[in-house]
Amino acid sequence: MTVPRPGRRPRGESVRALERGLDILRAVNASGGIRAGALAAQIGIPRPTVYRLLETLEELGYVERGASNDLFRVTRRALSLGDGYDASILVAQGAGPILLELGKRFVWPFDLSVYEGAAMVIQETTHALSPLSIDRGMIGRRLPMLRTSAGRAYLAFCGDQERSVILRHLVRLDEPEDRPFLEPRTLDRMIAETRTRGHATRDGGEFNAKTASLAAPILRDDNVLGCISVIWIRTAMSVDEARAQFVDPLRAAAKAILERSARGD
């Protein structure tokens, strides 16, 4: 009979723990960001076990908890186990502390969004922490490309071929709200103005009648890895006032997020 070594669990228990840990890692990777309670319900593992295994995976560097929320995501170490890594995930991982600092400094809410399937998807946000926010539950929210500052910034700064693919997709989707912004002159003017300014704006009530926003791209070479946005109540300040206050901090934040993601922080 084989006697387990002192201080070690029997092999069957160890294998079961490993299986559960891998199930959790796969589920976190597939989700793009998930809370422990939702994860437990999704994969049918008791919540205390999920918490314990998430803590172990976090200690080992394979998952991390978002700085501005309780969402767990896989890290660069976990991504390196595959054929490559998704740079947008690394950007989202590095954004939390920087968005929190912006939120403390300016109070208005900030978002980090990445492109996914003809929309910008919010990965990090300070909406829940901002007393000036009129929105909640923004993580995972899909933002239209043509009617938000984040979508406009992405379209303006992505490559010509990628932009053409996205626009063809939007034409096929044929959302009634998008039609005015797909008019060639309107679209060309938006892209040209956004590229000239280095940021995009939304202030016509085209997405949310109560708010306006400004977004800057996070650029690596010719690739847009994500966009960082600030949202404010339209009656509180003009676009020109917002530009004077936010453009430089947004650009600095985009640069800092890119540097953090490159280091794998």
pLDDT at 88 over 80: no
* 49, 122: one domain: no
Do residues 184 and 155 touch, judged by C-beta distance below 8 A? no
Instruction: Among 63, 79, 95, identify where a domain stops.
Output: 79
In a domain, 1, yes or no: no
Average pLDDT of the chain, as a whole number:
86
Torsion of CA 103, 256, 247, 227, to 10 degrees: -80
Determine the 3-state secondary structure of 138 from DSSP: coil
* Residue 123 or residue 90, greater confidence: 123
Domain edge (last residue) among 26, 51, 79: 79
Residue 65 banded pLDDT, cuts 50, 70, 90: confident
Residue 8 has pLDDT above 60, yes or no: no
Same-domain check for residues 123 and 226: yes
- Backbone dihedral angles phi then psi of residue 139, each to the nearest 5 degrees: -60, 130
Q: What is the pLDDT confidence band of residue 16, given thresholds at 50, 70 and 90?
A: confident
Instruction: Flag whether pLDDT at 193 surpasses 60.
Output: yes
24 in Cβ contact with 39 (< 8 Å): yes
Residue 256: band (very low, low, confident or very high) from pLDDT cuts 50, 70, 90: very high
Domain containing residue 55: 11-79
Q: What is the pLDDT of residue 4?
A: 45
* More confident of the two residues 121 and 94: 121
12 or 227, higher pLDDT: 227
Tell me the whole-structure pTM to 2 decimals.
Answer: 0.70
Question: Mapping DSSP to helix (H, G, I), strand (E, B) and coil, where does residue 15 land?
Answer: helix
Of 73 and 253, more confident: 253
Average pLDDT of the residues in 118-139: 88
Q: Would 6 be classed as within a structural domain? A: no
More confident residue, 75 or 124: 124
Does any domain span residue 63? yes
- Is the pLDDT at 148 greater than 50? The verdict is yes
Q: What is the predicted pLDDT for the residue at 195? A: 97
Q: How many domains does the chain have?
A: 2
- Are 45 and 102 members of one domain? no
Determine, yes or no, domain membership for 3: no
Question: Can you say how many angstroms the Cα of residue 11 is from the centroid of all Cα atoms in its chain?
Answer: 40
Asked if the model's pLDDT at residue 9 lies above 80, the reply is no
From 38, 60, 79, the end of a domain falls on: 79
Q: Give the per-residue pLDDT at 2.
A: 43
Predicted pLDDT of residue 246: 97
pLDDT-derived band of residue 6, with 50, 70 and 90 as boundaries?
Answer: very low
Alpha helices in 44-157 (DSSP H): 47-60, 76-79, 87-106, 149-157
Q: Are residues 158 and 53 in the same domain?
A: no
Most confident of 16-20, 118-122, 147-151, 260-264: 147-151
Residues 211 and 236: their CA atoms lie apart, in Å, by 9
Residue 45 has pLDDT above 80, yes or no: yes
Judged against a pLDDT cut of 70, whether residue 115 lies above it is answered with yes
Q: Which H helix or E strand runs over 125?
A: strand 119-125
| Proportion of the chain above pLDDT 70, given as a percent | 87
CATH of the domain at 222: 3.30.450.40
